[in-house]
Structure 1
């Protein structure tokens, strides 16, 4: 198997390395042979003469294509190779036919041969007509800046293929405006269905779209390229193709140095790619995409710490004074990092003045998009989450969560939620970034506790609850502000909020938490048992996580009068069966909970006193 695969690889490589001129030489030589033999035919001379005329027209078209290929190094080769391959097959059939028109045996045999080849001539003539139509169409798409939406014979059963070829050809050789239009059309085709997406990728559409994005020059063209790439890259495989085509540096460069409406498209593209593929997440991290995202997100944001000011303003002050402002950690390198994304040039400030005069609505859109990109970049990504926590960017996010509303606030909440989720699974990150004396961690916590107390929108409550739950191991018992708001949300009417609260409280009461005993007592002290009982009567998720939390409470404080009053033992025995049948991992803690409650509640050991918490 390995040997055969290895032997097949060089052959494929050799085929790919054939130049377009070499690809075209074969049908041209074939056409010359067909013409020569047709002219020498001794039977069916009329048909052979017509065949020679057709072949001569085809030969002229092939030679025109060779001249075009020689003079244009950026020629889009995909349709040329596909059509030329089909032309070659049709010329081979024509050659086979005219060879039979030499002198053959007796007169009777010749008459039989003539009768049997009449239909053959018609078939071959039809094939040559199709090849002529294909070659005319092929030349037309390279002789005009605009896409040709006519359908060549080769694509008569699949017109989308012809349109894709035409649009991609325009991306290669068209003027900037026409290339932008072609990118928009490809984006619309990709939006329609999966087959179109695959076709655009297979026909080589990614590379010219990235080149259009890289060249800049016209914001509409960059936005169109981003639109097409976003609609194409809707699954992991296609996102990885964009990455393999070296798209990440191009996207980051366009994000760092473009007009604001282009930056919005770039940030949205970053978010989409990062959401779908962890390889793209890591590639964006290597290109330092976090710095421009945080820089634009922090527009007009002044932190309470006097040492940390609005980042764009600091950069401006640095340029004006010719010195270096007092910045913490990596902020002082922001401006130089943008320049490094511009091939050594100083393009980093080209659009600075344009950004300053943009409308507040446009600036808000950019900030929302940047926050959304950060959210997706940090999700399940240790490297990006560490970049957030190793700087003062958490403080920036805390300030935005405090000052902003709606989608911007939500996206920032989701970002810190994802960072906390990564820290939950990584002790080193958790200990380094979320110490009890960390100003950044405390600033985030203050805002999340405020949200739990003041807000009712599940889109705000759920990420706040999940953040706190992910960091349950970091909170000491003296931090008494945490448990009560979570218990309050346990009784929330919105089932998703209540389930999130149960999951978070379960992490506080879990035996893996060093302070599980004190946290369990606090949950009961803040009257968490009644809403927990109501949660057990809800849907599947509510039952699962409610039962988990109840088991932890029973194991740690089974002698609580609050559990006895709600007959927790009876509740566990009657409501656990359907949950346990689907979640076998609960059986161990369920058994322990039953044992503990049996010791203290009626019917177990009545001689043992009950000690209320």
Structure 2
């Protein structure tokens, strides 16, 4: 049985035909239960004929859908094995063997039932596949007859029928089948798993790639069905392994397609990138960032041409094809809500592609993608603005952990970087909705190591947000300021002084009395300030030393970072209050080593990036 599963469909059918012929021959030679064996011989002959019909169909249909055939053939193989064993017993002429071989009429009734079931399965699969291969369609939505093999699970038969139509049917059948599969995939996880296991992904990708006469409609149906399946890492991986990523990127890059098609494909990219890191890597390899940025930039940048009319990037690029020109004009005349939806889906896809991906972050900064995101943050609202903010936040996260990207993407003379930072600061200062403020605050914090000490303008709005009535916004401002003052920041002393000059300490001390999360984050920042600028009068007036001593005796001091920072901070404050400068104490070798590494890593102060 295991050997049969590993064989090709034609060989499987051929071996099953040989077994059915062997059963027929032995049944015809039976010495006992001749009437019962005669029935078995007829059933075996009928099965053999139907199997030969399947072989002929497989020879004339290159795109034959094999999954139901294989499942039915394996079950038939088991039934024929039982029939062979029974026929052998009836052929034996030795009297002793007859005595010790117990056969009853019930055995034949059971076998007849098994073989009738297999006959029903073969009849069903021949009807479905023969019609799908050229018999006028499989009658989607009309014939919902079930094969006996799926009597306990009707959905399996319907999935087989729809995938067969998708793989072998007419264009109209393929469209309807894709829509039905998409609907099934919305119902529950079991149906999604079944569709993938029964090989529904390859014909969906083929439909997405080819489209046919009703190209746009078919592509939308295929992309939608794939998107409905792609909410699980394993299923997304199936799409990747079926070479789906190049197909998707190719469709997304097609300038002849309508915006509605591109919306569905961009949504598919978003779903796959959200659930599978391998898919994200494959999309990076195929450079999906480029078409997504191009679509997001559509009508985002405009300038006046000589005629005084707005000229967009897409117009400047231009093509020599009249068809492409017609499509471009159709896109410009598309409804505003459709244009907006396309931008939203592209921004969402970029957001998930950029998450935890230095490669994709590098690619988007090498294009006008960063500037495009900044312009959308400036000019857009709602879902589009949020996705762009989240995308920038993911780039900032990559910048924080990758020195090369930090140097290349946020250089002092980078107009894209400057524009992005300006928009982030504007959101922090002017927006009233925490949903937008929080990713902007996080982004500035993640970029803390790119700002020179003179950039006090980026610290000021963060200090202001320490007084925000929303505790989550205030806590995020704390975390962002901590990144300016932490030991890993080469300019931590200058930034710490700036925080104090902007009257940040009183607000910080108030947050220590807020919830546990704010208290923890606030203590971390307070420790850094004490370590960096322990001689500050602001800290002394705020009784920072007392606050830290109290914290040292509380459960919050068990936080791994605070366990190390609080004693150091208290020591610094005590030294300054006693009039002893840390420079007068013996040099701490490990501290000196850390300072040296920080200097080597960051470079000279005047070579800092933006």
What TM-score does the superposition give when structure 2 sets the normalisation length?
0.86
SS at match of 1:82: helix
Question: What residue in structure 1 maps to residue 138 of structure 2?
Answer: 145
Question: What residue in structure 1 maps to residue 584 of structure 2?
Answer: none
1:376 to partner: Cα distance: 1.5
Question: What residue in structure 2 maps to residue 230 of structure 1?
Answer: 227
Q: Distance in 2 between matches of 1:240 and 1:49?
A: 51
1:190 to partner: Cα distance: 2.9
Question: What residue in structure 1 maps to residue 278 of structure 2?
Answer: 279
Mapped contact 1:240–1:280 kept (Cα < 8 A): yes
Inter-CA distance 556–150: structure 2 relative to 1 (3 Å threshold): same
- Verify: 1:120 aligned to 2:91, yes or no: no
1:14-54 CA distance string (max 9 Å, x none): 964x4422211122222222222222322212211222222
- Verify: 1:243 aligned to 2:234, yes or no: no
Question: What residue in structure 2 maps to residue 269 of structure 1?
Answer: 268
Q: Distance in 2 between matches of 1:371 and 1:254?
A: 17
SS at match of 2:104: helix
Match of 1:455 among 431, 453, 462: 431
Mapped contact 1:303–1:396 kept (Cα < 8 A): no
Q: Distance in 1 between matches of 2:497 and 2:442?
A: 21
Q: Distance in 2 between matches of 1:489 and 1:414?
A: 19
Question: What residue in structure 2 maps to residue 498 of structure 1?
Answer: 474
Question: What residue in structure 2 maps to residue 557 of structure 1?
Answer: 533
Mapped contact 1:489–1:497 kept (Cα < 8 A): yes
Q: Distance in 2 between matches of 1:305 and 1:400?
A: 19
Mapped contact 1:303–1:395 kept (Cα < 8 A): no
Inter-CA distance 48–553: structure 2 relative to 1 (3 Å threshold): same
Structure 1 portions without partners, runs of 5+: 1-10, 321-345
Q: Distance in 2 between matches of 1:540 and 1:93?
A: 70
1:299-356 CA distance string (max 9 Å, x none): 222257999973112123x649xxxxxxxxxxxxxxxxxxxxxxxxx98667434323
Report which stretch shifted further, 454-463 or 180-189. Answer: 180-189
Match of 1:79 among 56, 68, 72: 68
Aligned length: 564
SS at match of 1:101: helix
Question: What residue in structure 1 maps to residue 160 of structure 2?
Answer: 165
Q: Distance in 1 between matches of 2:423 and 2:447?
A: 15
Match of 2:202 among 203, 207, 211: 207
Q: 5 Å matches for 1:241-390?
A: 241-257=238-254, 258-302=257-301, 310-316=312-318, 319=320, 351-390=327-366
- Verify: 1:579 aligned to 2:556, yes or no: yes
Inter-CA distance 216–112: structure 2 relative to 1 (3 Å threshold): same
- Verify: 1:134 aligned to 2:131, yes or no: no
1:540 to partner: Cα distance: 4.0
Match of 1:395 among 358, 371, 375: 371
1:203-248 CA distance string (max 9 Å, x none): 2121111111111233232222222222222233322221121111
Match of 2:11 among 7, 22, 29: 22
SS at match of 1:43: coil
Mapped contact 2:428–2:461 kept (Cα < 8 A): yes
SS at match of 1:587: helix
Q: Distance in 1 between matches of 2:305 and 2:259?
A: 29
1:161 to partner: Cα distance: 2.5
- Verify: 1:508 aligned to 2:484, yes or no: yes
Inter-CA distance 154–580: structure 2 relative to 1 (3 Å threshold): farther
What TM-score does the superposition give when structure 1 sets the normalisation length?
0.86
1:576-606 CA distance string (max 9 Å, x none): 532332x3233222211111233456xxx4x
Q: Distance in 2 between matches of 1:396 and 1:104?
A: 88
1:125-171 CA distance string (max 9 Å, x none): 11101111111121122124344543322223333322322221111
Report which stretch shifted further, 586-595 or 235-244. Answer: 235-244
1:415-468 CA distance string (max 9 Å, x none): 222112111111111112212222111111121221122111122111211221
Inter-CA distance 428–135: structure 2 relative to 1 (3 Å threshold): same
Mapped contact 2:302–2:313 kept (Cα < 8 A): no
Q: Distance in 2 between matches of 1:36 and 1:444?
A: 82
1:372-428 CA distance string (max 9 Å, x none): 111122222222211222233322222222111111122222222211211111111
Q: Distance in 2 between matches of 1:385 and 1:266?
A: 21
Inter-CA distance 580–202: structure 2 relative to 1 (3 Å threshold): farther
Q: Distance in 1 between matches of 2:517 and 2:467?
A: 15
Match of 2:189 among 191, 194, 215: 194
1:69-108 CA distance string (max 9 Å, x none): 11111001111111111111111211211222225344x9
Q: Distance in 2 between matches of 1:572 and 1:388?
A: 44
Q: 5 Å matches for 1:39-78?
A: 39-78=28-67
Q: Distance in 1 between matches of 2:55 and 2:168?
A: 17
Q: Distance in 1 between matches of 2:28 and 2:419?
A: 90
Inter-CA distance 43–471: structure 2 relative to 1 (3 Å threshold): same
Inter-CA distance 87–15: structure 2 relative to 1 (3 Å threshold): closer
Mapped contact 1:303–1:399 kept (Cα < 8 A): no
Question: What residue in structure 1 maps to residue 402 of structure 2?
Answer: 426
Inter-CA distance 547–45: structure 2 relative to 1 (3 Å threshold): same
Structure 2 portions without partners, runs of 5+: 132-136, 582-610
1:534 to partner: Cα distance: 3.2
Question: What residue in structure 1 maps to residue 604 of structure 2?
Answer: none
Mapped contact 2:5–2:74 kept (Cα < 8 A): no
1:572 to partner: Cα distance: 2.2
Q: Distance in 2 between matches of 1:551 and 1:157?
A: 66
1:571 to partner: Cα distance: 2.1
Inter-CA distance 574–312: structure 2 relative to 1 (3 Å threshold): same
Mapped contact 1:537–1:543 kept (Cα < 8 A): yes
1:481 to partner: Cα distance: 1.0
Inter-CA distance 80–553: structure 2 relative to 1 (3 Å threshold): same
Q: 5 Å matches for 1:395-544?
A: 395-544=371-520
Q: Distance in 1 between matches of 2:315 and 2:377?
A: 20
SS at match of 1:300: coil
